[in-house]
Structure 1
Amino acid sequence: MTSPTFSRDELVAAFENFEATVDRAAQTRDWDPWVEQYTPDVTYVEHAAGTMRGREEVRPWIWQTMETFPGSYMTSFPSLWSVFDESTGRVICELDNPMRDPGDGTIITATNISIITYAGDGLWRRQEDIYNPLRFVKATLKWCRKAQELGTLPDEAVAWMNQFGGQK
């Protein structure tokens, strides 16, 4: 099976819509529109969580991930750079994952590489997120320690620290 070829303009426009949808989801904390931008039979490869097939496997995962600490403290997911490959219909990008200000203006973040494959008609048929989970743990611990120092550490972060060995 060969992939359809999409023009650069179409890929760029689709990715701009993807970013806008993700940004709206991050602002409203409603992850359903984010899920709806994938084909019903999407393949989503998330190396820490495994491979999900179909929107109805992706939906509970994204809601759980983004509405539980530390995901619930991530404020946006802007791309830092992107590459468009018309011949494969892929966009390869580095996404930033900043956490909310712990109280002193500090920005703590970790990044991941995502490869998303376009299906046409504004939908994506595949996404693969590539990252080192330990970098996310390290960034989250840094955030927790800063919030603890500032007296702004929420109970859910304390529970996360206890679970993942971050208490000192």
Structure 2
Amino acid sequence: MGKWSRAELKESFDKLMDVTDRCFISDPFDLTDWLHCYTDDVVWHDLGSGFNNGWDQELNGRVAVNQWLTASLSAAKASPLNAGPPDTEMKYWPVPWYILDEERGWALCEWQNRMRDPGTGAVFEEKCYSQLIYGGNGQWRFEADIYNPTRLRMMKVRWLNARRQAEAANIPMPPLDLDWGLRLVDQEKELGQSWSREEIQRAFDKYIACAQGKPEDHANCFTDDAAYRELGFGFQNGWQEEIRGRKTILNWFTQRSNTFPDNQRQLVPVSWHVIDETRGWVVFECLNQMQDPGNGTVFQMRSFSRMKYAGNDQWHFKEDIYDPVKMRGMFERWREVHDSLK
């Protein structure tokens, strides 16, 4: 039994979603209620763009969070073309799914970073995974957000182009509309089956073991019609985000296993995982760790993944999300050290 009940966790998570929806479209703009959804000493990790122009990945304290967010929005409003499409027009954060872990007091979720309607009705959004740790009294003491900042920036560019086209056609910006902003698009289909936590755990343990073995064993953990979504480097040099079918997945695994950097990875530690037995899901954090370059230095980079179980020790869906620029930087630093020690 965890320190807090599932009911309290759900109430606090629902409150965070509701307050987020209200505060970020408030006029005059006021984030006071949103900030108080977090403890005074909250720790915030941004594993995408980061803070301080990307040099930091952690903020400590609610005051620091407020200062960072206020400065970011002020800069975007003052010089939107230099800062990229104006972040002040990112108004909605619909949540397609979330998982509560009452044993640890955690909430895991996907937020869609959605821009306001540019005037065409088109939806421009990019996903982010978040890990939240509860601190009691309706407040959260930790948040880690992970996303691909390159994809996020390109989404904003597409939105800005759509807005400029609307302006050229004398189409005004529609008023803010939460019903429009929070509706879910492209919802995933589920199998509608459930399995015991014990079976899912055994299948997950087997998957992690196979993922560190031969490509054939790894691929056999997926169903014939499985979908694999890669929101970091992607496939086909980044032009494709999803592949389908076990044979295609096997070809990709085989190609990776024979080339750098995957042929220099060692075991893939899993920092944590959460099981949702109702849907047959597992969400986990992976430390993509390289082999010892020769001097004992540890090179690794975090990623989050979500998998959907299909029974018989097989999975029918996997999605990985991380910052490919940071991942590539880690690979390059490893190679520099490795080559210097030859």
- TM bin, normalised by shorter chain, reads 0.7 to 0.9
2:13 aligns with one of 15, 18, 29: 15
Quote the RMSD (CA, aligned, Å).
1.5
Deviation at 1:85, TM superposition (A): 0.5
Task: Out of 55-64 and 114-123, give the one that drifted further.
Answer: 55-64
Contact 1:79–1:96 (CA under 8 A) maintained in structure 2 = yes
> Aligned residue for 2:35?
35
User: Is 1:32–1:59's contact at 8 Å kept on the other side of the alignment?
Assistant: no
| Matching of residue 131 in structure 1 with residue 147 in structure 2 | yes
Which of structures 1 and 2 has the larger relative contact order (alpha carbons within 8 angstroms, sep 6+)? 1
Distance 1:63 1:149 in 2: 29
TM-score by length of 1: 0.82
Q: Could you tell me how far 1:66 is from its partner in structure 2?
A: 4.2
8 A Cα contact 1:31 1:63, kept in partner: no
Runs of 4+ residues over 6 Å off in structure 1: none
- Partners in 2 of 1:65 and 1:112 — Cα distance? 18
Does the 8 A contact of 1:65 with 1:72 survive in 2? no
CA contact 2:92–2:116 (8 Å) conserved in 1: no
Secondary structure of the corresponding residue to residue 97 of structure 1 = strand
1:89 is the counterpart of 2:96: no
Q: Determine which structure has more spread, i.e. the larger CA radius of gyration.
A: 2
- Greater helix content: 1
1:72 equivalent to 2:88? Answer yes
Counterpart in 2 of 1:62? 69
Q: For residues 155 and 12 of structure 2, what CA distance do their matches in structure 1 show?
A: 31
Aligned to 1:145: 161
Per-residue deviation, residues 76-104 of structure 1 (Å, max 9, x unmatched):
11211000011111100000111111111
Offset, 1:5:
2.4
If the length of structure 2 is used for normalisation, what is the TM-score?
A: 0.42
**What is the number of equivalent residue pairs in this alignment?**
149
